[in-house]
Structure 1
Amino acid sequence: MCGISGSYGFGADTEGIARRMNSALAHRGPDGEGLFVDGETGLAHRRLSIIDVAGGAQPMTTADGRYTIVYNGETYNYLPLRAELEELGHTFRTDSDTEVLLEAHAEWGTAAYDRFNGMFAFAIHDAQTGTVTVARDHFGIKPLYYWIDESAEGAGGRPQVLFGSEIRALLAAQRFDAAPDDRAVYRYLKFRVQDDDSQTFFRGVRRLMAGEVLEISADGTSVTSFTRLQEELREIAERPSRPYSQEVVDEYRERFQESVRLRLQSEVPVGTSLSGGLDSSAVAAVIARHLREQPQDENFSAVGSRQNTFSAVFPNSSNDEEAYVDKLLSDNAGQITAHKIHPQPDAFLEDLRDFVRTQEEPIISTGPYAQYAVMREASQHVTVLLDGQGADEMMAGYNPYFYVYLRQLRRQKRFKELASEIVGSRDILRKLARTKYSGRTSVPIEALLNSGFVSEHSSEKVTSVQDDIKERLLEDTFRSSLPSLLRYEDKNTMRFSIEGRVPFVDKELLKFLFSLDESAIIHDGWNKRILREAMDGILPDMISKRRNKIGFTTPEGEWFRTIAPELMDIFASESFASRPYFDAPSVVALFEDYIANPGNHGTMMFWRLLNVELWMRTFFDDAEGSTRALGDRAAADEQAELAAAAAAAPVDAAREPETEEEPKSDYVANPAKELDLVSEPDGHTWRRLPLQTALVARGDDVESLARERVEAFAASLPADVVPDGSPWYFVISEKIIAITQGRSWFTWEIKPRRSAKVLSRFVTRTPAGIGLGDPTTMELAIREVGLPRVVAASAAGAAGKVIGKRGLFYEVVGANVRAIDGPTPYSAFPSNVSAKLPPKDPDAVSATISAAIRGADIPAALRDSFVGTVVMDANDIGRNVLGSDVDTPNERLEATFADNPLGQGRQRTPLAILVDLGAASRR
């Protein structure tokens, strides 16, 4: 296990780049370092010695001087490959797997890579051709990032390429400016995805995907796959399945035990990461059993006489797995030395900056911090650590897989099996139902994001296989799930100079699984069936028959409540508000409600927002200092200086604060809107002047707001904007009246009853959030007019559809329900996270506002031409006068807002001065 980096095409700076990149990876290889420079190629290596400690130094070159390799990983079948190569005439100077890979490349070229069983990322320079070949293992267990100067390659010149085990090495080369990739940020915030394609969170930096090879030459670069593993697995799955039997279970047990044995090859101490779940417990139990039954087996010598296990425990927490850990320990008391780590929220805060820097890109939750804390302790005892990663993706370890399998059985019309699986998984289905009908209304992430950012990426979609269990497992193994987990593991282990090994992530083991019927994976409501049965007699039933899954994670909700003030400081910071991604007022409001009512919200959405902000601070706000530190500091000083800098640096160390957007002038239109409109059918020209306001809240005085806003409008009014004597109206959105009256609620304050959830399904949900297609708005309708009337209106609407008459629903239910609005994610806070009833007594509100305006400090001529106030419900699909104190027909007033001049986004212009220019022109 090591850190590798390299470059191509940078001429005289090649050696300097190699040294800077290598220094940035010091933590990955504290046992040695080396450089190789030849022409346009530079290779660098940091070594963590595991196999052939004495003779495996890198870079390593073949005896004839042609091929040179830098390599990160372990190839577990290197001994039989070595024997085969020796028969072909190759000789070896070391006992390392590195030399086997190098000689295999010399013999077979890139065709050799598919023969390797292990985890690897390496680069091989060919002195004869001047080319560099970079490859990553079949599953992507070991990372490999690269950057290509597209301008250099696009111009037809020699390519310029950087590559390395971590992104920080590429940044340390100081050949490009770090910048966030907004598409990756959006997909993470919206869909919770990362690592599912070659795009990273850093613009221009890509990851080599599993089983891919990057070839670099003077003519350019190419990325291809060296393996057909995924296609092979599909072909295996399409063949007649091997029937499930005890023989199959026994064979799987033997194969799994062999996979564990292979991953114990080491000249340094090996331990096990033990969460208490089925997968890591299986690894630990297999090792413990072997130590008990064959204590003299040299294949297990790196484990020692007692296996060291490392567990994160959270006593008295809802997700604590200590009882399962203790059961395994008690059953194997003579073979295990246990180490329990107790991560705490205050330590999490202290480690947060380093944790974010360690991961390099945003992650899905705080869960990997438990692993980070475990690795820190484990590094004091062992150098290699095995764990249970990958079993969930290969044997359907997550609850959603049950639904995929049920859909598959339905699609295949295997109804007998479908019925059996429904019965067997009824407890899981009940859990889904409880979640679905819990009454908690989730806030869409778009409501917390900048509307422009959302609009720019609104075409992004993420889909998954829904009715084919093996195809879904392939998708999650190679794209959707396992890649991110492997990234977390690599970053956490290597941060503390540990090699992580994953026995379940073995291509031969996976091929065997895919040769079996799906019943080996899911059967009678049990997932991981073959593993559970293979561990019979090895694992205690308490673990092998567990239904609840927790894994290495943190009690995130409990921690967030403990450290809420510190998190609020981040959300309320100028730095957070300045980002182009967030709608800070909405985030702050939502988090304030979370603090007051934790049960209203989950924490994963808050973590994603927080993680992006901390990631931006870490890698971009102080980008110059970060990259220079990574490139220029001595390796021994790097970690200490980074920690000191993180503790001492201000929030925005190298970033000028962004100025707030200039307020809109009262005398110009909103973007993409017009001031003047010729209305039909009267032919009048109407001028609509949107007035921007501060946010309003429950209990605010709307009359004072209107008076003060009109005074501000009139204070510097240009003469030609409102011609003398022109009749004018004050128009106010019904939304802010409803808010001030307390008739607007955050979505999480509304607890929809079952009838609201059912009825809302039969109403078309508009893109604008208007209407009753949401349980929250339907609940408000029921509260406003009663359930019988809503049901009667629904029946009338259904009948109307049959006879071709539209609008019967609203004729029966009434105008008050027509005006109910749901959350509109693109609107200004709080409309983006709230639902509202129409204002109470809008005619009376109009009269009081008009009286306030007539008493305002405005020119007499302007006061004399004032007609009155209109309460308008306008949006992009319609408009409706809810109340007024004027004689002008509603239809005429509604026509003046045909293009919704107040806007439907976050313009914060809920007021308008409406001027009848047509009447003025006739005078």
Structure 2
Amino acid sequence: MCGIAGYHGFEADEALLRRMNDCQQHRGPDGDGIFVDGPVGLAHRRLSIIDVAHGQQPMQTTDGRFTIAYNGEVYNYLDLRTELEGLGRTFETDSDTEVVLEAFAEWGDEAFDRFNGMFGIAIWDAEKQSLTLARDHFGIKPVYVCRVPGAGRDGADAWLFASEIKPILASGHYDKRPNDRTIYRYLRFRIHEDGRETFFDGIERLEAGEVMTISAQGMERRPFTRLREELAELAKEQRPYDEAAAAEYKSRLVEAVRLRLQSEVPVGTSLSGGLDSSAVAVIINRLINEGDATTESVGTQQNTFSAVFPNSVNDEERYVDDVLDICRGHVAAHKIKPTPSEFKEDLLDFVRTQEEPLISSGPYAQYQVMREATKHVTVLLDGQGADEMMAGYIPYYFVYLRQLRAQGAGKAAAELSKSLDVLYRLGRFKLKAKLRGRKDVPTTSLLGRDFVAAHSGERYATEGSNLKKRLIEDLFVGSLPSLLRYEDKNTMRFSLEGRVPFLDKEVVKFIFSLSDEAIIKDGWNKRVLRDATRDLLPESINRRRNKIGFTTPQGEWFMRLKNHLYGIFLSESFANRPYFDQTAVLHAFEGWIKGTNDVDSMTFWRLLNLELWLQEYFDDKPEEVPAPRVKTDYEPNARKQLDLVTSDGTAVRRYPLRTDLFAREDDLDAKTLAYVDRFFAGLPDVGGDHAAATTGKWYFFISEKIVAITQGRSYFIWDIKVSRPARVLSRYVTRTPAGIGLGSPFTMQLAIEEVGLPRVLYASAGGAFGKVLGRKGLFYELVGNDIRAIDGPTEYSVYPANVSAKLAPKDPDQVAARLSAAIRARVPQAYRSTFGGTIVMDANDIGRNVLGTDAPGPKERYEAMFADNPLGQGSEQTPMAVVFEKPSTP
């Protein structure tokens, strides 16, 4: 398994090739090479599997005409080599690469259809001056291409290609831009990989079984195989299904597994506990017991790798254990237990690895498995592809039932009666949602209005009444392409080769030649596989009706990580995207947390994944700076200052005190006094100008937020029951970078509960009238009750402030007086007489508002002392300050 990259049409540029090649070093850590000839450059990264000592690439034919950069494995290469030798071809290595190269030299494009395996190929024909790119029959290995208009010689188009998208991004010849159509179809229909387009506008993928030829005459794309048409033709044959057919299928599958054990490096198995991967594991175990020579790559013990989720509904460990029991004595099991905290930690790398958004977080389980597997093996077999050819997903039952209904009501009724338990599993969650009265939330209501309007003509339809047609559709368009992308990215991220024996093209063709009863019969899907493995698999797996799949307990994890996810949805970048309606998304997420709507975690994953993908590949990255040193009480926060002269000429010095987070159960007075004690205990040691500043009047300022939190007036947003008036009114509030204010349904709901809906409506009308007159802030004057001080969650706040909303503190004057009395009783004697009092302050970078104080004089005097807001309640964690008036100099 390797990585290829290159160009056609540019001037010779080895630096470009190396730049592209370096981006996919993980695909081939065992070696690299480049080749330049005229308008073409080829680059290759090698992961050595077969003929480790030789087979370096790019590789040339002895006459120098053809040069290849190749990624993949062709499993029937030994048969092809024998045939080519019979035609007079000679070989200098034992690699499959040389067989692929000589096959192209002998047969041209027709060679590709002879290959049984997986491949992404680039071949330069120096004589015809043409570059040929090809991708295997099922698209197991990727090839991405990008046209660069007018960048070639004499203004002609140039082309870039690679096994991944990153090399094209790094080429310097591609102007990054997202593909809005693909994004819409992903968000709206939950699809991707359904054609040539990627999420990057202008970067396309070769489709399965497609060949692309580029020369001075232009570019041509066409299929090199009729496999899809062949499967449709075979489906019409409907060969009767019987024991002999099951036995033949078993023989073919075992041979497919044997072929994929060819390797000079260690081979293992990905074991999920499902029917497909379990079948692969037990077949390998049988081959080990029989002493088959191909199992030398496996060793005496088969390494299996399984993701398990103890105490989760997604856990399949008991099925994994049943397979391990069958293989006892010849198996070394490795169990990986992914956790939500690991998922959070790996999320950005996972998104970066996949290069494009995914349908669900399920492939993260595979990502974790591959990370562990690379410590033990270099090649990994798994069960990918079986579901799409043998109706492994529940919706296929409905397609089959419609097909039977067209043949007669009796057949459909008989099959339905034996499939009820399976179909119930699909509908039970929707049924429960209906019974609980959960609100339906259309996906389009979560998207930007203009974005939806621009793509309103998009449609996505699937075959609904012919089983074999639907399976073919999903093999090449609807399902398998995305799964193969996940597997390629996850395996290669950790320098592993993934092999998929179920996608042996001869095995697939055999299945489609059988009658539909080989696929579904009497409520059992994958019937031929079950019959073929009856003597190999434990009954718990062979007769298993419930399919979980290789996935994560996404819903459970999202509930655990709701604070983190909410912060992403709350971010300014999310708010500024044209793709999302942030207010609608936040409300829907709150409803999901509280169980009041039927939005599923898959919807939120798509929104989340798209946002993280945009951040990773399109947003400017902030410069990395070392973690700041935790400041002392006598230093200002970053980009702030200690000293200020107010408009009336008063000079003040503000000392922001760093604290731990405050929680509802904290004793405000005791915890606050501890920080005051710390400040005064260290003040004498500071000396210098600091000491001179302490001879005037001084005051203690405390943020209203921590007062409200300890009073129990802070609420997680998912605990706030939002009314329709709150949702409507919040849309007319302008949000600011400093805070969400009342521009959110849950903060508006708190305002309504605090003063009543009539008063909020009255103040809203007054505020609207005030805007006409050019008078700002009239709403807050009319509504009263310190509604201005209501805070919503902001992305820069630390947890739990980033996921909670707070009312103004209750009786802030009394709080100030109580704290002042306690402070006077314990500060050093020298500071007691100069203490002026406590101020409960609502301050941010936009404005300040004294909510409560026992200090003399007008509130405006103390608000002026915070004109530049020296506090910081995000990562600074400085929600209080000691403020000294500096004595005037004569």
Q: CA deviation at 1:389?
A: 0.3
Q: CA deviation at 1:712?
A: 2.2
Specify the code of the residue in structure 1 equivalent to 2:81: R
User: 2: CA distance between counterparts of 1:692 and 1:145?
Assistant: 43
- Residues 1:704 and 2:699 are matched in the alignment: no
Task: Describe how 1:230-629 pairs up with structure 2 within 5 A.
Answer: 230-239=228-237, 241-292=238-289, 294-295=290-291, 297-413=292-408, 415-438=409-432, 439=434, 440-597=438-595, 601-622=599-620
CA displacement, residues 799-823 of structure 1 (integer Å, 9 cap, x when unaligned): xxxxxxxxxxxxxxxxxxxxxxxxx
User: 1: CA distance between counterparts of 2:429 and 2:568?
Assistant: 30
Q: Residues 558 and 524 of structure 1: is their aligned pair in 2 closer, same or farther, counting only changes over 3 Å?
A: same
CA displacement, residues 834-858 of structure 1 (integer Å, 9 cap, x when unaligned): xxxxxxxxxxxxxxxxxxxxxxxxx
Aligned counterpart in structure 2 of residue 191 of structure 1, from 179, 189, 208: 189
- Residues 1:693 and 2:732 are matched in the alignment: yes
Q: Residues 54 and 706 of structure 1: is their aligned pair in 2 closer, same or farther, counting only changes over 3 Å?
A: closer
Q: Residues 159 and 337 of structure 1: is their aligned pair in 2 closer, same or farther, counting only changes over 3 Å?
A: same
User: 1: CA distance between counterparts of 2:102 and 2:614?
Assistant: 43
CA displacement, residues 730-774 of structure 1 (integer Å, 9 cap, x when unaligned): xxxxxxxxxxxxxxxxxxxxxxxxxxxxxxxxxxxxxxxxxxxxx
Kindly indicate whether the alpha-carbon contact (under 8 Å) linking 1:354 and 1:646 is maintained by their aligned counterparts in 2.
Answer: no
Kindly indicate whether the alpha-carbon contact (under 8 Å) linking 1:159 and 1:219 is maintained by their aligned counterparts in 2.
Answer: no
User: 2: CA distance between counterparts of 1:692 and 1:360?
Assistant: 35
Q: CA deviation at 1:624?
A: 11
Corresponding residue SS for 1:6 = strand
State the partner residue of 1:20.
19
Kindly indicate whether the alpha-carbon contact (under 8 Å) linking 2:148 and 2:173 is maintained by their aligned counterparts in 1.
Answer: no
Q: CA deviation at 1:714?
A: 4.0
Specify the code of the residue in structure 2 equivalent to 1:139: F
CA displacement, residues 885-919 of structure 1 (integer Å, 9 cap, x when unaligned): xxxxxxxxxxxxxxxxxxxxxxxxxxxxxxxxxxx
User: 1: CA distance between counterparts of 2:254 and 2:275?
Assistant: 15
Kindly indicate whether the alpha-carbon contact (under 8 Å) linking 2:519 and 2:525 is maintained by their aligned counterparts in 1.
Answer: yes
Q: CA deviation at 1:317?
A: 0.5
Corresponding residue SS for 2:262 = coil
User: 2: CA distance between counterparts of 1:327 and 1:435?
Assistant: 29
Task: Describe how 1:728-877 pairs up with structure 2 within 5 A.
Answer: none
Kindly indicate whether the alpha-carbon contact (under 8 Å) linking 2:9 and 2:151 is maintained by their aligned counterparts in 1.
Answer: no
Kindly indicate whether the alpha-carbon contact (under 8 Å) linking 1:213 and 1:226 is maintained by their aligned counterparts in 2.
Answer: yes
CA displacement, residues 263-322 of structure 1 (integer Å, 9 cap, x when unaligned): 000000000000000000000011112212x13x22111010010000000000011000
Q: Residues 339 and 692 of structure 1: is their aligned pair in 2 closer, same or farther, counting only changes over 3 Å?
A: closer
Corresponding residue SS for 1:455 = helix
Kindly indicate whether the alpha-carbon contact (under 8 Å) linking 1:21 and 1:169 is maintained by their aligned counterparts in 2.
Answer: yes
Q: Residues 232 and 332 of structure 1: is their aligned pair in 2 closer, same or farther, counting only changes over 3 Å?
A: same
User: 1: CA distance between counterparts of 2:627 and 2:397?
Assistant: 46
Residue segments in structure 1 that go unaligned for 5+ positions in a row: 626-643, 649-689, 718-923
Specify the code of the residue in structure 2 equivalent to 1:110: D
Specify the code of the residue in structure 1 equivalent to 2:354: Q
Specify the code of the residue in structure 2 equivalent to 1:43: L
Q: CA deviation at 1:424?
A: 1.1
Kindly indicate whether the alpha-carbon contact (under 8 Å) linking 1:178 and 1:623 is maintained by their aligned counterparts in 2.
Answer: no
Q: Residues 336 and 647 of structure 1: is their aligned pair in 2 closer, same or farther, counting only changes over 3 Å?
A: farther
Q: CA deviation at 1:38?
A: 0.3
Q: CA deviation at 1:595?
A: 3.0
Task: Describe how 1:89-108 pairs up with structure 2 within 5 A.
Answer: 89-108=88-107
- Residues 1:148 and 2:147 are matched in the alignment: yes
User: 2: CA distance between counterparts of 1:691 and 1:265?
Assistant: 64
Kindly indicate whether the alpha-carbon contact (under 8 Å) linking 2:422 and 2:546 is maintained by their aligned counterparts in 1.
Answer: no
User: 2: CA distance between counterparts of 1:609 and 1:467?
Assistant: 32
Q: Residues 222 and 581 of structure 1: is their aligned pair in 2 closer, same or farther, counting only changes over 3 Å?
A: same
Specify the code of the residue in structure 2 equivalent to 1:479: V
Specify the code of the residue in structure 1 equivalent to 2:4: I
Corresponding residue SS for 2:498 = strand
State the partner residue of 2:158.
160
Corresponding residue SS for 1:618 = helix
Q: Residues 564 and 523 of structure 1: is their aligned pair in 2 closer, same or farther, counting only changes over 3 Å?
A: same
User: 1: CA distance between counterparts of 2:23 and 2:763?
Assistant: 57
Q: CA deviation at 1:152?
A: 5.5
Kindly indicate whether the alpha-carbon contact (under 8 Å) linking 1:131 and 1:215 is maintained by their aligned counterparts in 2.
Answer: yes
State the partner residue of 2:10.
10
Kindly indicate whether the alpha-carbon contact (under 8 Å) linking 1:34 and 1:44 is maintained by their aligned counterparts in 2.
Answer: yes
User: 2: CA distance between counterparts of 1:279 and 1:197?
Assistant: 27
Corresponding residue SS for 2:62 = coil
Kindly indicate whether the alpha-carbon contact (under 8 Å) linking 1:519 and 1:529 is maintained by their aligned counterparts in 2.
Answer: yes
Kindly indicate whether the alpha-carbon contact (under 8 Å) linking 1:353 and 1:646 is maintained by their aligned counterparts in 2.
Answer: no
Q: CA deviation at 1:194?
A: 0.7
Specify the code of the residue in structure 1 equivalent to 2:732: T
Corresponding residue SS for 1:504 = helix
State the partner residue of 1:721.
none
Corresponding residue SS for 1:301 = helix
Corresponding residue SS for 1:70 = strand
Kindly indicate whether the alpha-carbon contact (under 8 Å) linking 1:159 and 1:221 is maintained by their aligned counterparts in 2.
Answer: no
Q: CA deviation at 1:709?
A: 3.8
State the partner residue of 1:686.
none
Kindly indicate whether the alpha-carbon contact (under 8 Å) linking 2:149 and 2:156 is maintained by their aligned counterparts in 1.
Answer: no
Q: Residues 502 and 95 of structure 1: is their aligned pair in 2 closer, same or farther, counting only changes over 3 Å?
A: same
Kindly indicate whether the alpha-carbon contact (under 8 Å) linking 2:374 and 2:495 is maintained by their aligned counterparts in 1.
Answer: yes
Identical-residue share of aligned pairs (%): 58
User: 2: CA distance between counterparts of 1:604 and 1:447?
Assistant: 16
Kindly indicate whether the alpha-carbon contact (under 8 Å) linking 2:439 and 2:596 is maintained by their aligned counterparts in 1.
Answer: no
Specify the code of the residue in structure 2 equivalent to 1:693: Y
Q: CA deviation at 1:427?
A: 1.0
Specify the code of the residue in structure 2 equivalent to 1:613: E
Corresponding residue SS for 1:11 = coil
Kindly indicate whether the alpha-carbon contact (under 8 Å) linking 1:401 and 1:469 is maintained by their aligned counterparts in 2.
Answer: yes
Q: Residues 707 and 91 of structure 1: is their aligned pair in 2 closer, same or farther, counting only changes over 3 Å?
A: closer
CA displacement, residues 339-385 of structure 1 (integer Å, 9 cap, x when unaligned): 00010111111111110000000001110000000000000000000
Kindly indicate whether the alpha-carbon contact (under 8 Å) linking 2:150 and 2:158 is maintained by their aligned counterparts in 1.
Answer: no
User: 2: CA distance between counterparts of 1:5 and 1:691?
Assistant: 51
Number of aligned residue pairs: give it.
Answer: 652
State the partner residue of 1:30.
29
Q: CA deviation at 1:220?
A: 1.1
Q: Residues 423 and 582 of structure 1: is their aligned pair in 2 closer, same or farther, counting only changes over 3 Å?
A: same
Q: Residues 703 and 62 of structure 1: is their aligned pair in 2 closer, same or farther, counting only changes over 3 Å?
A: closer
Specify the code of the residue in structure 1 equivalent to 2:422: I
Specify the code of the residue in structure 2 equivalent to 1:193: I
User: 2: CA distance between counterparts of 1:126 and 1:647?
Assistant: 54
Q: CA deviation at 1:441?
A: 3.5
Kindly indicate whether the alpha-carbon contact (under 8 Å) linking 2:3 and 2:24 is maintained by their aligned counterparts in 1.
Answer: yes
Q: Once superposed, what is the RMSD of the aligned Cα atoms?
A: 2.1
User: 2: CA distance between counterparts of 1:165 and 1:48?
Assistant: 13
User: 2: CA distance between counterparts of 1:280 and 1:299?
Assistant: 19
